[in-house]
Amino acid sequence: MTTKLKRLALALATIATSGLALPGAHAQANEPVKGGTLIYLEQQAHTNLYPPAGGFYPNGGILNQITDKLTYQNPKTLEIEPWIAESWTVNADATAYTFKIRPGVTFSDGTPLDAAAVARNYDVFGLGNKALKQPVSEVINNYERSEVIDPLTVKFYFKKPSPGFLQGTSVIGSGLVAASTLALPFEQLGDATKIIGSGPFVVESETIGKELNLKAREEYNWGPAKLEHQGRAYLDGVKYIITGEDSVRIGALLAGQADFIRQVQAYDESQVEAQDYQIYAPSTRGVNNSVVFRPDNPLVADVKVRQALLHATDAKEIVTTLFSANYPQATSIIASSALGYKDVSAKLAFDLEKAKALLDEAGWSVGANGLRQKGGRELVLTAYESLPQPQNKETLQLVAQQWGKVGVKLSVLAGDSGSKTVDDLDPLKTPVSPAMVGRADPDVIKSQYYPKNRDMLRQKGGLSDKVQSFVDEKLNGLLEALASEPDRQKRLAIAGEIQDYVVDQAYAIPIFEEPQAYAGAPYVQGVAFEAVGRPSFYSTWLAEH
Amino acid sequence: MSAYLLNRVAQALFVLWAAFTVSFVLLQAMPGDAVLIKFQNPDLGLTAAQVAEIRASYAVDSPFVVQYVRTIGKFLTGDFGYSVQAGVPVGTLLAAHLPATLKLATLGFLLAGVLAILIAFVSSLTRFAWLRGALQSIPSLFISVPTFWLGIMLIQIFSFRLKLVPVINPAPWQELILPVMALAVPISAPLAQVLVRNIDDVMTRPFVVVARAKGATRFWVLWRHVAKNALLPTLTIAGVLFGELVAGAVVTETVFGLNGIGGLTERAVGSQDTAVLQAIVVISALAFVIINLVVDLLYPVLDPRLRTKAGVAA
């Protein structure tokens, strides 16, 4: 009991001192110290730094320091606040957005960040650039064109209502970059030194795949207007070092060789906390870590089979066995801190008897070998583990054990990334798949399920040409409505309706709310996280140690 | 001699071509490709049509022969192409990663050699049977220790507990200490084994008895008469061990977070980054060919008997 209490206290302390409670909340009474370089150990090397590719955490961790966004989403309230845009107006049906740009902002190459620069960025993010192979940003829906009204006013037009756009201007994928960066072909954007932003840090040097050095921009004076901290960053620089080994990252942090690390597995949390180091586990506030079905596969085409598996899944056991208090059990398909969340936990109850009854009803009877059978076929399903998700293999294996109790076999495959990518497109080969995505706007549900976005359910006409017939017009209609309903209340209501629908249809089995887990030395102060859990080192400082 | 060299160079070119072709075929035969893996990534949120467009722009779906001819043509002009995953030219990647691996491999190999010679010499010189037995069982121990585990243990003990060498942000001279140790241990094992056996072998030869009868000390005999003779087969093994060295470097670099070809290979395999893998295969084959050529050329230097034979042949 005492350990539990200690855990809780630590979790609270984490929330209090992490930037989740950024403006105003002073965990430490002493004044921030200027100077010093933060040693940050990252698990994986960054890949392409084209801003819309910033969803990948190693990329986001860099882009968040070197680029600014039009707007700032307060991680505590999820409200959209001014940043590079001083103010904005949206027309009634959310098809036109006008932004007033803050004067005096420059990119680190000296070029101005004005209305023309913003327009240039969004034309690429909204429409893509085929010649340079730059893809469209996932967060911008229905984009038509931009118009520079005066040097500090820019207006965007949309083909259809795009209510998620304002939040879309605040995400990591909407970092503003200089014209010289946008002029480069996509395949050259893996070189961080070529990413010219207006952020509080500038890429000073990098050794690809090994380390990257950021240095503070002296003249930086345009942080989010409502932040308490203004002016240049407290740190002189940040040094990213790629350290792939979990044990080396944690060991180095505890041995005083590093200040801050990303990716701490739940089973390592206690050894970090035992030494008074801090675990930061900001929520990713998006679609929960789940298992989804591909109903195009005849084995899981019957809603009763899917419902049976949903009730056969004991999410609580998974969370308590494999994870920690930082991984709350899911109560809907999106996180409880996500915008538009609705508690549907009543429909997610673990109930073995109900699961068995549903499978019987669906005509799957237990065969001699203990596996459910119907018409000579056995209920044997396959899923590939997802490497970026925490302990995903173990999670799936535990799910497989649980499903085994109702006579369903789930094979968990590792596979090389090529086979995985190819098989993942084919519902016959992967009827089950792990899934999660973070973004603090209800649009994230659409991103996850809409056939023209991530298409997690694999519908006909979506990402894969291997799908035979599965389409859910009702779901797609709801998702489209979600992405284009300009009225906020109605939009949140639609989000709730979708959560009910996805769980009723048992398209997904939500398991836990996924955090991004970091650990920091006790003297590291003022680390903030954007709404989806990527670190911001703008207000970070190193106390004496 | 020059005909011999020409012959060897022709062989080397053939090996390079074969390595290139075999790896090309294998990489093409694997399911999926780098472009698919990268752009089908849900984090990018691309639609099927967009992915298809990107695929077309990279021309990844063009026929096998067309791709083969195009790639080999580019390689011949020194253009290794772009890394799809990293978004930088392969040439840049290699330039950034090769020096670290060269340093690690050279030092690792030297240390392995020193370890092997130490084990072999001390075990043949010692008068204590127990010490001899203990020393001669070291290679079996060394070869059974997984490099991965050894690396982590070295870090835990020397860096995190004793705080002798930092692994994060080390000075250039500190950076290689632990990785070189981790790499040298498994490489030294087969070297030591071969060396011990050969020394034992040569020790029983009549000329050794003669030398001893003339009053030479054990050490003198070992150093002047036995070592040179025993070294030759060891040298052959050393050439072959280069493959082991590359494999060991992959693990060592990953554990220590070194920015070398090994780490690069590991990432490129993960993302099927064909252009990078192709370049690494060719470079490894080139290094293999050169090392074995050097070994062959060293034989006559070490053994005068081979010198005359080569002379007769030429």
Contact A257/B at CB under 8 A: yes
Does residue A29 have a pLDDT over 60? no
Q: Work out whether the CA dihedral A450, A451, A453, A454 comes out positive or negative.
A: positive
Nearest CA in chain B to A247: B152
Contact A47, A58 (CB under 8 A): yes
Interval A248-252 mean pLDDT = 93
Lowest-pLDDT range, A486-500, B1-15, B39-53? B39-53
Interval A268-276 mean pLDDT = 92
Residues of A in Cβ contact (< 8 Å) with B159: 251-252, 255, 257
Residue B27 pLDDT: 86
Does residue A513 have a pLDDT over 60? yes
Residue B250 Cα distances to A249, B23, B155, B218, angstroms: 19, 18, 17, 41
Residue B46 pLDDT: 67
Residue A230 pLDDT: 94
Average pLDDT over chain B reads 84
Residue B124 pLDDT: 85
Q: Best residue in A417, A424, A433, A436 to probe B by mutation, most B CBs within 10 Å?
A: A417
Residue B264 pLDDT: 86
d(CA B128, CA B136): 12
At A319, the amino acid letter reads V
Residue A505 Cα distances to A341, A481, B203, angstroms: 18, 19, 81
Residues A472-488 have pLDDT tens digits of 999 999 999 998 888 88
Q: Which among B37, B86, B168 has the least Cβ separation from residue A208?
A: B86
Q: How far A5 CA sits from the closest chain B CA (Å)?
A: 30
Between chains, do B32 and A447 touch, taking CB under 8 Å as contact?
no
Q: Which among B37, B48, B159 has the least Cβ separation from residue A421?
A: B37
Q: Which among A189, A210, A255 has the least Cβ separation from residue B259?
A: A210
How many residues in total does chain A contain? 545
Does residue A27 have a pLDDT over 70? no
Q: How confident is the model at residue B37 (pLDDT cuts 50, 70, 90)?
A: confident
- Name the nearest CA neighbour of B252 among B244, B263, B243: B263
Task: Say what percent of chain A tops pLDDT 90.
Answer: 72
Between chains, do B96 and A209 touch, taking CB under 8 Å as contact?
yes
Contact B272/A at CB under 8 A: yes
A11/A46: higher pLDDT: A46
Alpha helices in chain B (DSSP H): 2-29, 34-39, 48-58, 64-76, 90-125, 129-144, 147-154, 172-175, 177-203, 206-213, 218-220, 227-256, 261-270, 274-302, 304-313
Interval A446-471 mean pLDDT = 88
Interval A31-43 mean pLDDT = 94
Q: Report the Cα A57 to chain-centroid distance in Å.
A: 8
Interval B147-173 mean pLDDT = 90
Residues B258-307 have pLDDT tens digits of 888 888 888 888 888 888 999 999 888 888 888 888 888 888 777 777 77
B42/A263: higher pLDDT: A263
Beta-carbon contacts of residue A51 (< 8 Å; ≥ 6 apart): A63, A67, A121, A125, A137, A172, A173, A174, A175, A176, A177
Beta-carbon contacts of residue A367 (< 8 Å; ≥ 6 apart): A373, A378, A407
According to the 3-state scheme, what is the secondary structure of A397-462?
HHHHHHHHCCCCEEEEECCCHHHHHHHHCCCCCCCEEEEEECCCCCHHHHHHHCCCCCCCCCCCCC
Q: Best residue in A49, A171, A239, A248 to probe B by mutation, most B CBs within 10 Å?
A: A248
Q: How confident is the model at residue B44 (pLDDT cuts 50, 70, 90)?
A: low
Does residue B175 have a pLDDT over 80? yes
Residues B50-63 have pLDDT tens digits of 778 778 877 778 88
For chain B, list the domains and their CATH numbers. 90-272 (1.10.3720.10)
Q: How far B149 CA sits from the closest chain A CA (Å)?
A: 11
Between chains, do B87 and A188 touch, taking CB under 8 Å as contact?
yes
ipTM (interface predicted TM): 0.74
Lowest-pLDDT range, A5-9, A12-16, A460-464, B78-82? A12-16
Nearest CA in chain B to A258: B168
Q: How confident is the model at residue A25 (pLDDT cuts 50, 70, 90)?
A: very low
Residues B186-241 have pLDDT tens digits of 899 999 999 888 888 888 888 888 888 888 888 888 888 888 788 888 888 887 88
Does residue A28 have a pLDDT over 70? no
Between chains, do B88 and A254 touch, taking CB under 8 Å as contact?
no
Nearest CA in chain A to B163: A255
Contact A131/B at CB under 8 A: no
Residue B45 pLDDT: 60
Between chains, do B86 and A41 touch, taking CB under 8 Å as contact?
no
Between chains, do A209 and B42 touch, taking CB under 8 Å as contact?
no
Beta-carbon contacts of residue A117 (< 8 Å; ≥ 6 apart): A107, A111, A176, A178, A179
Does residue A339 have a pLDDT over 70? yes
Residues A294-314 have pLDDT tens digits of 999 999 999 999 999 999 999
Between chains, do B271 and A252 touch, taking CB under 8 Å as contact?
no
Contact A127/B at CB under 8 A: no
Residue A10 pLDDT: 46
* List of long-range contacts for A265-273, beta carbons under 8 Å, 24+ apart: A265/A390, A265/A391, A265/A517, A266/A322, A266/A323, A266/A324, A266/A326, A266/A327, A266/A390, A266/A391, A266/A517, A267/A322, A269/A324, A269/A326, A269/A517, A272/A519, A273/A10
Residue B74 pLDDT: 86
How many residues in total does chain B contain? 314
Interval B166-189 mean pLDDT = 89
Residue B249 pLDDT: 83
Q: Show which of residues 44-83 on chain A sit within 8 Å of chain B, judged by CB atoms.
A: 45, 47-49, 52-53, 55-56
Residues A393-430 have pLDDT tens digits of 999 999 999 999 999 999 999 877 788 888 888 999 99
